[in-house]
Structure 1
Amino acid sequence: GTRPSGARIVVMRWWVAGLALSLASCSQFVRYTEELRTGQGGRTGFVTVPTLLGGSAGFIIGIPADIAGFPITYAVYSYQQRESPATADPLSTLLFPSWLFWKGAMMLGAPFDAIEFAAYRAWRSEPTPSREERAAIEAEYDRTTYPSYPVKPIYPAASDRRAAEIERR
């Protein structure tokens, strides 16, 4: 048989990479871009500045896609409003193309994050949090993460646990 050309191999690799990326959860992607943007985890301006510039450019580039996709996004928003008016958000639905470009372009900060991690953050020793600090970190994570998902935690809130402990005494 004949061997595929170099261009065909590159295209096949891109398709395979795209398929692999499409199988992943988008929540990790969104969380990672937020960490790049806000500087969580000790990230410096070396990471956050390219992330913010890329995200801003991506959002602006996505505006024509918002305009072109308005008939589709408006239909989706109308459906959301009929089915669950409490969770229908016009901005995230109508500006969805810009949001995609914004988050995608924020990934410009990922190579800078890798460089900074290898050269700086990986070599810093961070103190191990105490039990109370760990509980506070987890409570903050629950407070900031769970509201973005349409899920109700099945474990009781800290205030409910304290009330139950007081009742037991």
Structure 2
Amino acid sequence: MGVGVVNEQLQRNTRYTNPCWTNLKGGCSHLCLPTSYSTYTCACPSNTGLVLARDATNCVVPNNFILSTSLDEGTIMLTSLDPGSPRTPVVLAQAHQPSAVDYDPIDQMVYWSDVGMNGIYRKPLNVSAPCIPSCPTPLLHPAALEYRYHIFMNRNSIEQINKHPN
């Protein structure tokens, strides 16, 4: 079933222009969202670590941030601590039961353990890429993520995560 709504006054207004059509997305680096016939606001794509910069037009990875997980909501979140940035958490990824999170600043890769899926996953910070399983393991201990090692409780072994599998 579909629903269509027609506003006769808008149909006659053939001179309407979208403010995002001008100046290449209104000057926004990623997303331009019209708020009226003549105004717009810039935004950043979801499931990335990008936040709106002070200029309110460019999306950037913040210099200072906190990563957190919500076991109840199944989310991995980033909150910017940069001056002038809103302190609103941005969802980086969805997971079954995320319990620990870590960040590799060299590769700009976020790692988290998912105790519901018994694995360690990773995702690039600045893109909306799918989550890549790094290490599906039984009986995963979340503390293993702090050092990018995983601990096999049932085999009495400790192994390092290979950040560049191939």
TM-score normalized by the length of structure 1 = 0.19
The structure where helix makes up a greater share of residues is: 1
Q: Which has the higher contact order (CA 8 A, sep 6+)?
A: 1
TM-score normalized by the length of structure 2 = 0.19
